[in-house]
A and B are shown apart, each in its own frame.
Chain A
Amino acid sequence: EVQLQQSGAELGKPGTSVKLSCKVSGYNIRSTYMHWVNQRPGKGLEWIGRIDPANGNTIYAEKFKSKATLTADTSSNTAYMQLSQLKSDDTAIYFCAMQRAWIIRDWGQGVMVTVSS
């Protein structure tokens, strides 16, 4: 069974960074792509970007190019997303998700990031 386990809730001050993790079990992330999606309070889903863990290649939505940095560690089967220069607008739930055969099929439980001084 494929499982994506995300790290715990984060509270960050404006201007700082946070790094979220997403550990995958039941599937080798070298064989897939890992995506990140956010959901602001009471709002819909927003795609942030994707990483190919096999070679580190990334694609970002334009608005997240200077906000998010996606990385992956194939030895631990874990994907990461760092959010920099936090602002109140970054307060959201962040999901990692795994693509298999073109489709985003499997999702982490989500992690709440709260930006507050």
Chain B
Amino acid sequence: DIVMTQTPSSQAVSAGEKVTMSCKSSQSLLYNENKKNYLAWYQQKPGQSPKLLIYWASTRESGVPDRFIGSGSGTDFTLTISSVQAEDLAVYYCQQYYNFPYTFGAGTKLELK
């Protein structure tokens, strides 16, 4: 199975800060045939279902604010929030869909400083 490792596990932030979080996979998620990275990012707020933010490592889902930026390739990926808003306090999960079983990272929790 592909292991997804997210760091940090939690991060205290202030509104307006730039935030970055990391996701590393135990094997490459880059499919050479189409040059796509099979990596998604989800946001989960307390008591809610996960919400898709980013797919193909860097494509923002429709309706997602442009302050959410996904980057990276191969085994190293980053989710950046350019200017954190209060409504962004949540847990963020990366997930690989390169092969089965699909696997998630353990999550990065954004908390208020």
Contact = CB atoms under 8 A, between A and B. Distances in A.
How extensive is the interface on chain A, given as a class? Answer: 20 to 34
Contact of B104 (A47, A60, A62, A102): A47
The interface residues of chain A, by DSSP majority, are classed as strand
A103 B40 CA distance: 8
Nearest to A47: B102
Contacts of B102: 35, 47, 50, 104
A92 B61 CA distance: 28
Given A103-B40, A104-B40, A104-B95, A45 B101 contact: no
A34 to B, nearest CB: 13
Nearest to B55: A103
Given A44-B107, A47-B104, A107 B97 contact: no
A38 to B, nearest CB: 11
